[in-house]
Homo-oligomer: A and B are copies of this chain.
């Protein structure tokens, strides 16, 4: 939905010294700086709205240091999450944050990414131990101190947390120390159809309350399920559906499965279908990850726009029902899919980009959805970020003092306003 706005120049630095020199040069000349990873963000974070120099960090793609006993790894900004997990294959460890796209890990830091595994393993906010940041003027900051990779600290202000989710507006992330997790011994996935949205959400809350350590719990509305059936040759009932995944030992999995089935049964689930074999599981999650393409296939020739909000879990049924009514009233085609264990969901809208009136309706729908989330004590974005598209909603979300504090932070670190200008604030 964000019009392509190219920069005046693109550079591909090979190392942090070059990034630092570039930042210093741009800053001294008043030239905007736009950091670039894989460009898979959804809120226009890499649009060069004021021109300037795009610093493409993909050539810096080394995995600098693996500390297996300490469950940590240091990566350069061009390393993607799939590349890291391939590298880790024989280590018994993995990096679980999975936003769907094979995004660069430092880009995921910048946007505060999360995705399907966040309910169990947390988001990027929970999985970054240290960052190397080139500040706008070119100076180098190690947010937790040079080379440090402890699990916790109470030493001074949390600078690492300040840069996670800052969307490239405070500095360029040139290395990240990430927290790794042990690969689960066994994995089982399942799908489960429900008579209503409420029943699917109640099942989610009850599974969490029962302390079943679910690794993924994804909701698909019946439109999304139908689209996935067609696009990925699944054969699931066309109904509000949960996709679940459990990680653990063989023995604990059996118990998790039994409990989840009991809870779903109490909530009226009609069919619980287990995928225990790797191939079956792969097919299921490939279908989930192809939800975007499945949605696009509903209106060939149209573009997709995925918006995201997050609310307290108890308010999910309310907002999901409202959103489906809003969709109907607006005459738009859209599907709902989301990380229901976090209260986070996406609405994928199909739009003809040539139809300016429809584009306007899609934008209005997105804004209305954001406001509905805010009215339910939620946030206008659970994981996509503010970028260009949600600046008005951010103001409504955090209020005047919150906005002023964020603006002070921006002015403090980027007094000339040259770091990825026009985003977030």
- What residues make up the interface of A, taking CB atoms closer than 8 Å to B? 67, 69-72, 92, 111-114, 118, 122-123, 125-126, 135, 139-159, 161-162, 164-166, 170, 181-185, 205, 208-211, 213, 247-249, 251-252, 255, 310-314, 342-344, 374, 377-386, 390, 393-394, 397-399, 401-402, 405-406, 408-410, 412-413, 424-425
Contact = CB atoms under 8 A, between A and B. Distances in A.
A162 B151 contact: no
Contact of A67 (B314, B412, B413): B314
A92 B342 CA distance: 19
Given A342-B151, A397-B145, A401-B140, A312 B67 contact: yes
A184 B209 CA distance: 10
Q: How many copies does the complex hold?
A: 2
A271 B249 CA distance: 26
Contacts of A164: 158
Most central of A67, A71, A161, A248 by chain B CB within 10 Å: A161
A279 B161 CA distance: 41
A344 to B, nearest CB: 6
A50 B313 CA distance: 46
Nearest to A171: B405
Q: Which 3 A-B pairs have the closest CB atoms?
A: A161-B161, A69-B314, A153-B379
Contacts of A142: 398-399, 401-402
A354 to B, nearest CB: 30
A248 B248 CA distance: 13
Contact of A162 (B92, B135, B148, B157): B157
Contacts of A146: 399
Nearest to A342: B151
A312 B155 contact: no
B150 A405 contact: no
Given A142-B398, A213-B213, A377-B147, A152 B71 contact: no
A73 to B, nearest CB: 12
25 contacts: A70-B314, A92-B209, A140-B401, A142-B399, A145-B374, A145-B379, A148-B379, A149-B312, A149-B377, A151-B343, A154-B383, A154-B386, A155-B386, A155-B394, A156-B397, A156-B406, A157-B410, A158-B165, A161-B161, A184-B211, A211-B248, A251-B251, A252-B255, A408-B413, A412-B412
A88 B142 CA distance: 40
A313 to B, nearest CB: 5
A402 B252 contact: no
Contacts of A162: 157-158, 161-162
A217 to B, nearest CB: 13
Contact of A412 (B135, B213, B249, B409): B409
Given A142-B398, A152-B382, 7 more contacts: A148-B378, A148-B379, A150-B311, A153-B382, A154-B385, A156-B165, A251-B252
